[in-house]
Amino acid sequence: MSDVPATPSLIAQTASPAPHVRGYWGNVWNRLKYDQVTLFFLILIIAIILSAVFAPWLAPFDPNKSSMAARLKPVMFKSFYLGTDEQGRDILSRLIWGGRTSLVMGISPVFLATVIGGFFGVFAGYAGGKLNTAIMRTMDVFFAFPSVLLAVAISGSLGSGLVNQMITLTIVLIPPICRVAETATSQVRTMDFIDAARASGAGTMSILFRHVLVNVMSPVMVYSSTLVSASILLASGLSFLGLGVSPPTPDWGLMLSTLRQSIYVQPLVCALPGVAILITSIAFNLVSDGLRQAMDVKA
């Protein structure tokens, strides 16, 4: 009795399909897509960003066009759906245009601080020794001052303006990001796969970019996302104090500053820029918290 060889079709029918194994980012997205709160506020942030990008087409009026005859009108007054300010400018148009400035001041300094602070933190954590001490003690000097006080001091010395405000916020945000990057790097550099990479003859730059940076990027990115709302609040505070952008540039903090004198005339209209700051800050905080939980994938 001879053995009958299995035909290819029979092998194809009996062979079980290979299981699909998700990667790290696949697991992150799998967790994130079931977090309804995070997804809702992520959609809200996308809507705010899109409204700022398409402000020339969405704003019903010129944000800088004033009219003394239409000053301090209430909500839903004729075609001014959110009222007007002390110079008769449309609040809705200025809120849409002001989102551009507030988002730029919230995202750009965080991005620059992540690049600069992450570089110094990874370098200090991997090098260790005296170099680590020199870099981190320098960062501790900035930690000696509250962030708001430090921002006011730097902005006061540099002067008002969009560029100076961005430089101020970047300097304020570098130390905390540097500390997070240094802590994560100090933990990673003692692991076995780093020793194995050294034993295999890998150079310092190769180890930093292929092994250390990949493992440090996740906690640094998550922490940086939490600083966007803080950057928006700091930028708005500087504009409120007159240390940010110059009038008549639409900005939520500057709008609060100019409208505060009219709070007893139109309190609801005067509160709208603050509501925009509050909603945007809460949205970024909740999205960053959801992102942190989603990226905390153990397996």
pLDDT value at position 299? 43
Whether the pLDDT of residue 148 is over 50: the answer is: yes
pLDDT, one tens digit per residue, over 91-134 is 999 999 999 988 998 899 999 999 999 989 988 888 888 888 89
- Residue whose entry in the numeric block shows the structure tokens 């303006």: 161
pLDDT value at position 38? 85
% of the chain residues with pLDDT over 90: 27
Mean pLDDT of 193-213: 74
Whole-angstrom Cα distance, residue 148 to residue 200? 48
Q: How far apart are the first and last CA of the chain?
A: 51
How much is the pTM?
0.83
% of the chain residues with pLDDT over 70: 88
pLDDT, one tens digit per residue, over 40-83 is 999 999 999 999 999 999 999 888 888 888 888 888 888 888 98
Q: Residue 32 to residues 28, 214, 290, 293: CA-CA distances in angstroms?
A: 6, 21, 7, 8
Please, are residues 56 and 240 in contact by the beta-carbon 8 Å criterion? Answer: no
Closest by CA position to 271, among listed 282, 255, 285, 283: 255
pLDDT value at position 24? 61
Torsion of CA 137, 160, 99, 240, to 10 degrees: 90
Least confident range from 13-17, 199-203, 236-240: namely 13-17
